[in-house]
Amino acid sequence: MQNKLVTILHRITVALFLIIALFPIYWMLNTSLKTQGEVYSKIPTFLPKNPTLNNFKYLIFETPFMNALKNSFLVALVVTVLSIIIAYPTAYSISRLKFKGRNTFAKVILFCYLLPSSVLYIPLYIFVSRVGLSDNIMGLMLIYPTFTLPYVAWILIPHISSIPYDIEEAALVDGCSKFKIMYQIIFPLTIPGVISTAIFAFAMCWGEYLYALVNITDTQAKTFPLIIAGLIYGDLYPWGQIMAGSIIGCIPILIIYIASSRFLTGGATAGGVKG
């Protein structure tokens, strides 16, 4: 009887926290289906009185939101892939190779990750302008690695360090070179860490606003956060359209997470060594 009571209380607690966590998403969807008048009514409604898709239709057909969504996806995808390609050998070198200044180099990566992005707005704007990539998504592809690369490298270091050295030693005995060990032995074992890190790096680029605001003014090159912010005129906030854009903006991240969830499992090295 006591065990059943504990189980019931546990489930009630989990359900309560789940409701609290999901309520903002529900409210976004709820607001996106309301008319402007209902959104600004004195008494808030937890269900739309007259559900409408006009907010979604306005965004999709009367604004460059879909083009901005494509720009955001392209920038986030390229930057994420580039960050993994560069950060993985960096993290492997710090985790596995013994060289002078290794700890200092690791601390520099952490410092770069903790560096406030606001410090780099003006220098990066000047740099992008001088290379002729202002008002171009290619400029964002040069800027975003400044905060994704340190993050990806710093997160991958403990993932690689957790893999037993015995696996590498066995591969060396079998005649594998260091390069083959890094990409054919260690990399497959770090796939859960790589994918989870890539998802966070993608999300960091996907919803980034301030760098895009500083460097992009051309409507055709804007990312979707800029288009959503552009819906606001003075003191008038079209919350229905803003929430509709936010709902659409959440979908790619949700799809990526669901598609990648089966790879986010540990234990790949279990049984790989004796003892």
pLDDT tens-digit profile of 109-140? 888 888 887 788 888 999 999 988 888 999 99
139-159 mean pLDDT = 90
Q: What is the pLDDT of residue 17?
A: 94
Question: Boundaries of CATH 1.10.3720.10 in the chain?
Answer: 55-263
pLDDT tens digit sequence for 227-272: 999 888 877 788 999 999 999 999 988 888 888 877 766 544 443 4
146-157 mean pLDDT = 90
First to last CA, the chain: 42
73-78 mean pLDDT = 95
- Cα dist. 116→126, 150, 178, 201, 264 in Å? 18, 13, 36, 17, 30
The CATH architecture to which 55-263 belongs is Orthogonal Bundle (1.10)
User: Given pLDDT bands bounded at 50, 70 and 90, which one contains residue 1?
Assistant: low
User: Given pLDDT bands bounded at 50, 70 and 90, which one contains residue 163?
Assistant: confident
Instruction: Please provide the average confidence, as pLDDT, over all residues in the chain.
Output: 86
User: Given pLDDT bands bounded at 50, 70 and 90, which one contains residue 141?
Assistant: very high
Q: Judge whether residue 273 has pLDDT over 50.
A: no
pTM for the predicted model, two decimal places: 0.85
CA angle 55, 60, 62 (to 5 degrees): 85
User: Given pLDDT bands bounded at 50, 70 and 90, which one contains residue 28?
Assistant: very high
